[in-house]
Each structure stands twice: as structure tokens, then as C-alpha cells.
Amino acid sequence: MLDAVADRLQWMDRWRACGREPFAHPAYCQLFAGDGDNAVALVLEHADGFALLPLMIRPIPGAQVGTNDAISPYGYGGPFFSGAPAPELVLAELEGWIGRTGLCSAFLRLSLDVELTAGPRTLTTEVADTSDNVVVDLRRTPDEIWAQYEHKVRKNVKKALRAGCTVRREDQLKDIESFLNVYRSTMVRRGATAWYQFDRAFFEKLSHKLAGSYSVFSVLNEQGEAISVELVLESDNYLYSFLGGTLAQAFPISPNDLLKHEVVLHGQRTGRRGFVLGGGYKRGDGIFRYKRSFDPRGVRTYRTARIIGDPARYTELVDEHALRDPRSSAVSDYFPAYRTPLSE
């Protein structure tokens, strides 16, 4: 187990060997760590290489001091591999490690390349199909990529260009105010939860700590104003749509279609395998359909893994949570159940 602070150099060596995936970067894990959380990475050596699995070890609110659980950082948490992938081995070894260390549970957000079929592995470990994501295949020529778009995407890209829009790509988040203006207005319009209301300090840390692992794309109108923005995370093999938005008044000229088209071309030019657009709030919703329009054949299943390390303690915590909020038990699919958001 590597600590994000004490073992940073070793962690970074492993990170580079696994393809520089942003979600496995120690600074990324620290960025999303809450008060009292400990950002760590597990390294599993095997005959053909090793696996790297970032985790946050978290104290459980309301539980006895020293009662912790674990979760992957937000996004696609791995495991990431150097050498031949062995996801089933990682899952089995992780279950044993969680039991030995006394963690109550662990929730893994698996990467899209991890080949694990859905279903139970043991009485306390299960893999679940959680949602559908869209990955634009960049291993094509620009003409092939253009032809793969749905007609409305090609139409909207041309519309934005006719309106005089241009796209700017930067290696750093230099103009945080312009970015925040677009991002915040988008979160308000969508009624996003407080978790997505990232402040200026968050973006300043991200800009500095993750330099080299992201690009910022901005669509500018004829007056040079940013009307659509996106912070795109980057690994050796993939680009990831991360945080961004579009001003409502710019919707008639469809600047976000142009932005995503330019991200696709950047990924194709730099030899990436795919541009991960993600999914929607729910399977098949409008956001998902919009993303799928960039590659109708690029739908991939997003999976999570759930491990209960201490079944007796887990049940106690679930029962205690239900006493505080009886209605929370209706959210049957939330894991761990003792962290189900309280009803308002």
C-alpha cells in the first residue's frame, strides 16, 4: 500500500508504468479526498506485471473511531495494469486484503477496460452493471470519424463554424474566471447537487497539481468570449470528458458539438485510442443520447464492484442508519447502504 504523501515517488513510478491514467494520480486522489480521508494506492504484483488500484480510506460518520471503508476516486478507478491484465485476481486479492485490514466495505468504480462480468463472486463480493458510457473510437482517420457522427452532430458543427466560433486548446487552466462563469451557470441550470459546486480553490489546485494530465478546450464566439468550455483529462491512451458546460444563450449555435469535435481531432492527432464521453444521469436519458450521437457504436458498460469486509459490522451500521432515516431503506441499490443520503 502506497501513501499519496509518504510514498509519492514510488506511486508516480507505478502511475507512469500503467499509462498515466489521471484517476490513478496521487494528486487527483487527494483532490477528491474528504476530511479525514487517506489517499492510497494498492499495488498487486503478479507473474506478468502489476496492478495499481487507487483508493480513499474513509472514516464512517457516526461509527466508532477507527471504523473505516474504502472507495475509488470519482471517475474510473482502475485497476490499472502494467503487463497482462488480471482483474479477477485483483478482485480476489482485494477481498482478502479488506478483510485483513478490518475495513467495513469497499466500493470500486471500475475502468472501462477492466473485463469483469457482472454477478456475485463470493457471498460478500459482487460486480454490477451500473450504467452505459460512450467512448469515441479514435483509431480512425478524420474522415471516418466525421462519417461516424450522427447527422445532427455534423450539422451542428457546421452551424457553430458559420456563426464564427473558434476553438482554443490550452495545456493549463489559465483563465479560471471565464471557465467558472460557464461552469457555474451550467450547474445552476441543471440543478446540480452541492457536490458538483466546485469552487475556485478546487480548480486552482487541479490546474497546478495535475499539470500535464489535462487540456482545456474553449469555444469562443466572434467577440472572443468563452461560451462553451471543457476540462479534458488525458492519459497515454484516452481522453476523458471531465468538467465543463455551455452558456444557455449560446445553445442556438451549438458550440458544444464543435468543442467535442475538436477534442476528438486532438485525440486522433495525438494517437489516443478513445475519447471517453461518459454517460447520463440515467440509462438512455437525453444526456446519454447526446453523447452517443458522437459514436453510436461506442457504447460501453460501466461497472462497479462492491465488497463487504465485515458483514456483521456492515449490518449493524445499516440498521443504525435506518433508525435515523427509515425512508432511506427505499434506496435499495445504494452502496454502502449505511451511507445512503438522508431523506430531506
**For the chain, domain boundaries:** 2-129+303-339, 140-272
Q: For 140-272, which CATH superfamily applies?
A: Gcn5-related N-acetyltransferase (GNAT) (3.40.630.30)
Up-side HSE of residue 191: CA atoms within 13 Å toward CB?
1
Q: Tell me the one-letter amino acid at 50.
A: F
Pairing of strands 80-83, 38-46: unpaired
- Whole-structure pTM value: 0.92
Cis peptide before 336 (omega within 30 of 0): yes
Task: Give yes or no for a contact between 153 and 257, defined as CB atoms under 8 angstroms apart.
Answer: yes
CA distance 262 to 77: 26
Residue-level pLDDT, tens digit, the chain, 344 residues: 999 999 999 999 999 999 999 999 999 999 999 889 999 999 998 888 999 999 999 999 888 888 999 999 999 998 999 988 889 999 999 999 999 999 999 999 999 999 899 999 999 999 999 999 999 999 999 999 999 999 999 999 999 999 999 999 999 998 899 999 999 999 989 887 888 888 899 999 999 999 999 999 999 999 999 999 999 999 999 999 999 999 999 999 999 999 999 999 999 999 999 999 998 778 878 889 999 999 999 999 999 999 999 999 999 999 988 888 776 665 568 899 999 887 65
pLDDT at 219: 97
CA distance 84 to 98: 24
